[in-house]
Structure 1
Amino acid sequence: MAVPQRAASAHSSGPIAAAAREAVASLVRNLTMPKAFPDPALESQFLEDHSERFCAFRRASTMLAVVIWTCFLWWDVSFARGNKTLNVRLDQILLLRFVGIVLLLILALMVLRPSFRTHKISQRIILVGVYGLLCLILALFAITPAPYNYTQHFNGLCLALFVQFSFFYLRARIVLIAGIVTMASVVVLQLGAHLLHTEDFFAGMFYMFNVIVVGHGVCVHAERVSRERFVSERALASLNQELRGANVSLERKNSELLVSKKDQENKTNALLALREQQMIAAQTASREKSNFLAAATHDLRQPMHALNLFLQAAAEAIRNGDFDEAERLIDDCGRSSVILARLLNAVLDLSRLESGRVVPRYHVFDVRQIVEEAAAQLRPFAMSRGVELRLRLPKDEVVCVRSDSHWLGRAVANLVSNGIKYADKTKGTKPTVIVGVVRSATRARIDVLDNGIGIPGDYFDAIFQPFFQVDNPEQDRDKGLGLGLSIVNAVVSMLDQHRIELKSTETRGSRFSLEMPLCGPTPDKPSTRAPLRSEADETAQLSGRYVLLVEDDGLVRASTEALLSQWGVLYDSAATFEEFEEILGSVERFPDLIITDFRLRDTKTAREVAMASAAKLGRACPCLVVTGEPAASIVPLACEQDVLSKPVSPMDLRRGMLALIAPECEAVTA
């Protein structure tokens, strides 16, 4: 029976001990100074929040202190009148009481100011009031004789300490210091002047000590609760902020979802509309391409048909011994061949431009140069038509632009040629084409003006379509092919920041204006133009030159060999790359030029031709590539090169050869 009793006793004592430990821990916690926040900024925010929170209560406590101090004045006056001992000190007591009233009234006015809400101002005012009243009470305590100083004024010290501990919500450290200073002051006065009886002194100290301990605990608890509340409110505010942010984010996402849904619907509708537009555009493009091919086929068949008939008629004339007629017919064959080549080149150029396979090669150059070149090229043609060709260029002023000089030159030449072809010879004034260059702050403009037949306003868009010609219903090829303005439009569309403008009045003439970006003061690579030579001079320069010809097409090779022979050019020709290598192994003279197709049999190209010639001959030889491939797809060779697109006229072939041979000759001569 003893064991169960001990177990029951231990069981019953366990909760009591735990409760005692909990009580002691709580007491220690309530008497321990609360720690300030580690972050000074957070501590400053807490103090400001604490002052703002208890501002109204501190103001009310100040008013209450005025009332209590005034009541004690009445108490002192009432008690001193009936007591001879105190009546002697009544004047001094009243003076101290009135000083306290004045101090409290001044403080009451100060606590009503808006600045009292801040921590520093409120703490300073409250401490001045607390220490001021304690000093006044200590003064009353010192001037009042015993035992009345204890019975009348010592309780005032305890009451003042109680008020500062419980009513003003000051920090625990500050009020504890005030209590200790007050208690120490009483001890010092007692030791120095023996103001109290010994029994009253010890009783008063015991009472004051308990007031300080209890007040300190109350103040610590209030400060700790205030700090915990501040932390909780900050955490709650943070959570509320996060919640508001989450709500805003959810609302934004909801709005985005709605917008996304609407955008998706719009995109779906747009895709459907785009698909329908693409189908219509594809059908339109297919129809336009079919019309273009039909027109091109028709126009290509005409000179080809004439060429066949002229050749047959020339053969008949030769068999009949009429050589003069045969010579005339062969000249007509040449004319038909030139028209056929021009038409085919124009069709190919337009096709390449519109397909996007042409990559413009931009550089800075003087735009006056291409205008002068176009005028020099077309001046004989203008003279043959009785048209005066004039230039209006800035004198002694470089007009540099950033463009592709080749394609821009083609566009200018087409516009000038177009103005010459449509000259109006029925007017009293002489047919004239004026080409001018105008510059502004950021742009340069090439104007081509004529006083020809003009263009009706209804045709401004149509004239840029392939094979469309104004006032040429009979399809007279002397008036052009109907592709010049189409090529100009394609060139302008291809070049960045270029545009074309047309102004025309029917029967009075037209003005085409090409605009492009103006560039730096000097061109990238100023080049000198070679002087124009006659056909006889060009042929004489080629006579005796040695050329290697590489062409896998038999007809092209045979026709090129025949032409080279007529020009007096020495040559060796090869149909394959292997034959070319055999020729390189046996040549006794370094060739002046290699003429080659770009793409040969067995996947060989002009690049292998150039590399093989450089390896076999010891140094690079100029190459003229004559090909049907787009110029943009030609891989640059490891030598000086030029590219001519088939079909090539004899004049272009001759000038292409001279362009590569002439620099070599000048270098050797030098």
Structure 2
Amino acid sequence: MHVPNRIGGIQRSWSYSAAAREAGASLIKNLSIPRPFADPALEAQFLEDHSQRFCAFRRASALLALVLWTSFLTWDLTVARRTPILKDAFTDLLVLRLLGILLLMCVGVMVLRPSFRSHVTSSRVIFIGIYGLIFLMLCMVAVTPAPFNYSQQFPGLYLALFFQFSFFYLRSKSVLAVAILTLAAMIFLQAAFNVLHPADFGAGMFFLINMVVVGHGVCVHAERVSRERYAAERELASLNRDLSTANVELGRKNTELEISKKDQEIKTNALLALKEQQMRAAEAASKEKSNFLAAATHDLRQPMHALNLFLQASSEAIRRGEFREAGRLIDECGRSSVILARLLNAVLDLSRLESGRVVPRYHVFDLRLIIEEAAEQLGPFAKSRGVDLRLRLPKESLVCVRSDAHWLGRAVANLVSNAIKYANTGQTAKPTVIVGVVRSATRARIDVVDNGIGISNAHWESIFQPFFQVDNPEQDRDKGLGLGLSIVNAVISMLEEHRLELKSAEGLGSRFSVEMPLCGASPEKPSPRLPAKTDADEALQLDGLYVLLVEDDGLVRASTEALLSQWGVLFDSAATFEEYEEILDSLERFPDLIITDFRLRDFKTAREVAMLGTQKLGRPCPTLVVTGEPQATIVPLACTHDVLSKPVSPADLRQEILSLVSGKCPDEVAA
């Protein structure tokens, strides 16, 4: 029967203890100096905002202090002058009081200046006033005879501390330092000169210490509230910016919706007509996609058809012993294969860009580098067409921009290639393509100018559509694929703050301009370019390398084996993950490289291939992933690796092998 009472007593005791701990924790929190923001820049912004927020109140408080200090002058002129015991100290008191007025007047002038809004200036001015007044108050306590120094002058210290704790919204750490120095000074005066009666000194210090503790708590609370409010306001401002952006976007969409709604109301007010219009729009979009797929299928079939015929013809020529003719036909097979790979890669790139699956990788680089690389790459092509390719680049200073060097380089190369293809070789003047860079204060612009056939105004929008080509109705693949400008438009649309502009006159030429923001100079200096290596030099470096090939597609595996054999590369190939594991168990030589598809049978991937290789070989082996899946580019492997997307040209495959084996970047190997 007594157990419940005992339990109730324990619960009450526990609740009292918890409440006491909670109260103690709250007291410690309220007396603990708030920590500044971790980011020094954010802390500086807070202090400036805090000073500006309370600037007007601080000015009013400083002027109020001047009024109150001056009002005590009446006491000096009445009580102190008429009291016999204070007559000897009257002159000193009057001088100290006037010095205080002069000090506060100077402070009042400084607080009214515009510079008082800054944190450094306002803190300096306020602490000059506070330290000066406390010093004067201590002097007045020292020169005023007892007990008037305690009853009349000592409360001035309370008032000064009350002002600094309550009216100026200063940092609690600095204010606490003022209070501690005041206490220390008062203790020193009492110890050295015995200015107060011991009882008065004890009572005064008791109340002064209480004033410091309470005032410090108030100041800590005020600073903590200010910091929390500032952080909340920053968060609220961020949310407001997001909300404003969303509202702007919503407004834009609402405007578009209203325009669309008005257009629909003009056509018909019936819901059936609206549905019919939406259906027509969906059918148009579907038809556009179907047309794109039909055009892509048609253009892919052409080189594939030619490739099949050339292969059959070369086989017949070999059977009849016409090896020279067979060699020529095999070269034509290679040409058809290159065209097929280019077309397929262009279609895949355009599809990835328009679907939003490509994420730009921004960094700062010299814009001249990608232009020089495009000119170096397309120089032989321009020479074969009889086109004079010229560069107009700043030679003395860097032109640093923040962009994706790979995709921007692709866009520039496509524009230059397009200008070369449509050069007007029938005119009197020599066909010329000029690639230049123009800078403004904040922007950089790449201009690709030609004196070619020009583009009619009627085709300005159409040329950016896939497979559209001016003056190429027969779809001659030697004149391009019809996807270059579509890829350029998709790339520039993807990159932030980039803009594409076209100016052209039929028969006079065209100018394509790509504009982007300038950026500060890159800290990295470009390495000097090395002389270009020939295919024979690269093939010679491959001779004798040992490679492990993991590919579950029989046709791809057989073609890769054939190419490696021609390059003199030693290899072991595996069709499954189990075969690959068996090869690792029986190796007599550490492989120079592992070439693997990303996705294998039985849900195995290149990651498992690299991990097993590291486990069996004792250390990581460079790995080259050749895959048809774009998401494989972001798969991390536990070794040095690179990713190539199928289809891969032999030259690209050779360069990637050399780059991984040598431990250099592909650009250095290709250079």
TM-score range, shorter chain: 0.5 to 0.7
1:484 maps to what in 2?
A: 484
How much has 1:269 moved relative to structure 2? 6.5
Would the aligned equivalents of 2:390 and 2:434 in 1 still touch at CA under 8 Å? Answer: yes
Counterpart of 1:331, as a letter, is: D
Alignment of 1:596-635 (within 5 A): 596-631=596-631, 634-635=634-635
Larger radius of gyration: 1
Change (3 A) 1:305 1:512: same
Change (3 A) 1:435 1:664: closer
Alignment of 1:451-530 (within 5 A): 451-522=451-522, 526=526, 529=529
Counterpart of 2:472, as a letter, is: N
How much has 1:420 moved relative to structure 2? 1.2
Change (3 A) 1:441 1:266: closer
2-structure distance, mates of 1:269, 1:664: 58
Change (3 A) 1:645 1:525: farther
How much has 1:417 moved relative to structure 2? 0.8
How much has 1:449 moved relative to structure 2? 1.1
Cα deviation per residue 1:268-303 (whole Å; 9 max; x = unaligned)? 969989987765543332111100011011111111
1:539 maps to what in 2?
A: 539
Would the aligned equivalents of 1:598 and 1:634 in 2 still touch at CA under 8 Å? Answer: no
Secondary structure, aligned partner of 2:588 = coil
Secondary structure, aligned partner of 2:378 = helix
1:435 maps to what in 2?
A: 435
1-structure distance, mates of 2:366, 2:583: 44
1-structure distance, mates of 2:418, 2:664: 37
Would the aligned equivalents of 2:632 and 2:643 in 1 still touch at CA under 8 Å? Answer: no
Alignment of 1:292-303 (within 5 A): 292-303=292-303
Change (3 A) 1:350 1:429: same
Counterpart of 1:432, as a letter, is: T
Cα deviation per residue 1:444-479 (whole Å; 9 max; x = unaligned)? 111111111111111010000000000111211110
2-structure distance, mates of 1:325, 1:475: 27
Counterpart of 1:647, as a letter, is: P
Cα deviation per residue 1:479-508 (whole Å; 9 max; x = unaligned)? 001000011111111111111101111111
1:326 maps to what in 2?
A: 326
Would the aligned equivalents of 1:364 and 1:524 in 2 still touch at CA under 8 Å? Answer: no
Counterpart of 1:604, as a letter, is: K
Cα deviation per residue 1:178-209 (whole Å; 9 max; x = unaligned)? xxxxxxxxxxxxxxxxxxxxxxxxxxxxxxxx
Would the aligned equivalents of 1:631 and 1:645 in 2 still touch at CA under 8 Å? Answer: no
Counterpart of 2:401, as a letter, is: V
1:564 maps to what in 2?
A: 564
1:217 maps to what in 2?
A: none
Secondary structure, aligned partner of 2:386 = coil
2:554 maps to what in 1?
A: 554
1:56 maps to what in 2?
A: none
Counterpart of 2:541, as a letter, is: Q
1:102 maps to what in 2?
A: none
How much has 1:433 moved relative to structure 2? 1.3
Change (3 A) 1:665 1:285: closer
Would the aligned equivalents of 2:546 and 2:571 in 1 still touch at CA under 8 Å? Answer: yes
1-structure distance, mates of 2:389, 2:258: 57
Change (3 A) 1:274 1:361: farther
Cα deviation per residue 1:142-183 (whole Å; 9 max; x = unaligned)? xxxxxxxxxxxxxxxxxxxxxxxxxxxxxxxxxxxxxxxxxx
Let me know the Cα RMSD of the aligned residues: 2.7
2-structure distance, mates of 1:491, 1:387: 26
Would the aligned equivalents of 1:622 and 1:639 in 2 still touch at CA under 8 Å? Answer: yes
1:48 maps to what in 2?
A: none
1-structure distance, mates of 2:613, 2:550: 12
1-structure distance, mates of 2:499, 2:612: 45
1:172 maps to what in 2?
A: none
How much has 1:435 moved relative to structure 2? 1.2
Alignment of 1:65-144 (within 5 A): none
Change (3 A) 1:628 1:281: farther
How much has 1:565 moved relative to structure 2? 0.7
Compare 446-455 and 582-591 and name the one that shifted more.
582-591
Change (3 A) 1:665 1:494: closer
Alignment of 1:263-342 (within 5 A): 279-342=279-342
Change (3 A) 1:584 1:496: same
Counterpart of 1:457, as a letter, is: N
2-structure distance, mates of 1:605, 1:507: 55
2-structure distance, mates of 1:467, 1:586: 52
1-structure distance, mates of 2:481, 2:260: 45
How much has 1:570 moved relative to structure 2? 1.2
1-structure distance, mates of 2:419, 2:634: 34
Counterpart of 1:499, as a letter, is: R
2-structure distance, mates of 1:526, 1:275: 59
How much has 1:631 moved relative to structure 2? 4.9
Secondary structure, aligned partner of 2:520 = coil
2-structure distance, mates of 1:284, 1:600: 39
Counterpart of 1:492, as a letter, is: I
- Where do 5+ consecutive residues of structure 2 fail to align? 1-253, 265-270
Change (3 A) 1:523 1:493: farther
Would the aligned equivalents of 1:548 and 1:593 in 2 still touch at CA under 8 Å? Answer: yes
How much has 1:387 moved relative to structure 2? 1.4
2-structure distance, mates of 1:664, 1:517: 31
TM-score (norm 2): 0.57
1:348 maps to what in 2?
A: 348
1-structure distance, mates of 2:623, 2:599: 14
Cα deviation per residue 1:203-260 (whole Å; 9 max; x = unaligned)? xxxxxxxxxxxxxxxxxxxxxxxxxxxxxxxxxxxxxxxxxxxxxxxxxxxxxxxxxx
1-structure distance, mates of 2:402, 2:488: 17
2:374 maps to what in 1?
A: 374
1-structure distance, mates of 2:301, 2:260: 48
TM-score (norm 1): 0.57
How much has 1:585 moved relative to structure 2? 2.1
Counterpart of 1:475, as a letter, is: Q
Change (3 A) 1:665 1:546: farther
How much has 1:529 moved relative to structure 2? 4.9
Alignment of 1:377-456 (within 5 A): 377-456=377-456
Cα deviation per residue 1:560-596 (whole Å; 9 max; x = unaligned)? 1100111111111111122222222222222222211
Cα deviation per residue 1:502-554 (whole Å; 9 max; x = unaligned)? 11111111111111121121156856655421111111111111111111100
Would the aligned equivalents of 2:659 and 2:665 in 1 still touch at CA under 8 Å? Answer: no
Counterpart of 1:378, as a letter, is: L
1-structure distance, mates of 2:604, 2:391: 47
Secondary structure, aligned partner of 1:332 = helix
Would the aligned equivalents of 1:598 and 1:606 in 2 still touch at CA under 8 Å? Answer: yes
Counterpart of 2:422, as a letter, is: Y
Change (3 A) 1:662 1:390: farther
Counterpart of 2:460, as a letter, is: F
How much has 1:632 moved relative to structure 2? 6.7
2-structure distance, mates of 1:367, 1:289: 36
Change (3 A) 1:390 1:632: farther
Change (3 A) 1:277 1:369: farther
Change (3 A) 1:619 1:281: farther
2-structure distance, mates of 1:416, 1:268: 39
Secondary structure, aligned partner of 2:347 = helix
Counterpart of 2:533, as a letter, is: R
Secondary structure, aligned partner of 2:336 = helix
Counterpart of 2:514, as a letter, is: L
Cα deviation per residue 1:85-126 (whole Å; 9 max; x = unaligned)? xxxxxxxxxxxxxxxxxxxxxxxxxxxxxxxxxxxxxxxxxx
Would the aligned equivalents of 2:598 and 2:632 in 1 still touch at CA under 8 Å? Answer: no
1-structure distance, mates of 2:497, 2:665: 40
Would the aligned equivalents of 2:499 and 2:515 in 1 still touch at CA under 8 Å? Answer: yes
Secondary structure, aligned partner of 2:358 = coil
Secondary structure, aligned partner of 1:602 = helix
Would the aligned equivalents of 1:446 and 1:515 in 2 still touch at CA under 8 Å? Answer: yes
Percent identity, please.
Answer: 77
Residues paired across the two proteins, number: 404
2-structure distance, mates of 1:613, 1:519: 43
- Where do 5+ consecutive residues of structure 1 fail to align? 1-262
How much has 1:615 moved relative to structure 2? 2.1
1:661 maps to what in 2?
A: 661
1-structure distance, mates of 2:497, 2:430: 36
In the alignment, structure 1 residue 590 sits paired with structure 2 residue 590: yes
